[in-house]
Amino acid sequence: MTEREWLSTEDWYASLPSVYLAAGGLITDSSGRVLLVKPSYRPYWLFPGGVVETNEAPHLGCEREVSEEVGLRVSAGRLLVSDWVPADDERPRANVYFLFDCGTYDADVPIRLQEEELVDYAFVTPDEGVGMLSSASAARLPAALQARAAGTTRYLAGSRPLDADVAR
């Protein structure tokens, strides 16, 4: 019997696929309008949030990013949406996006934009928001609002709900 060669733990972990992690916050005003931000580096609007740092929990990344981007100290509440997005021509790795419930604020809450990355913000109706977001983010908005209303979490695969015709 020959002795089997085993990968070291370090080599085994290095051989596994990896993903990008990002987290954002669903923030609404008392009339149900959604806070979106306009980055200087994209043609579309985004939820406040961003990339999760190494060894940072997604909910903490959401809180940090919202604070950095719009100056609001939020507590990331329930996870509303988790979206797995496959790699594509722009992204060499898959992305997992977490959208947390970050509460409701008055529309006149003071917003302080992170000027290095953002050029504008707005509280918009959900219908307006869907038209302002990228196609991936646009799918997250109604899913997040439905999850918030139902007290649940929605899982999207490729920015599509599993109850849609998702390739398996």
Series of mean pLDDT values for 10-residue runs along the chain (168 residues): 77 89 97 97 96 97 98 97 92 94 93 96 97 94 97 94 58
Whole-number pLDDT of residue 6: 84
**Global pTM value:** 0.90
Q: Determine the Cα–Cα distance for residues 123 and 112; give it in Å rounded to an integer.
A: 14
Assigned token pair, 88:
């594509």
**Whose CA is closest to 32, among 82, 107, 102?**
107
Class of domain 17-160: alpha beta
DSSP annotation string for 48-79: SEEEPPTT--HHHHHHHHHHHHH-------SE
pLDDT of residue 163: 67
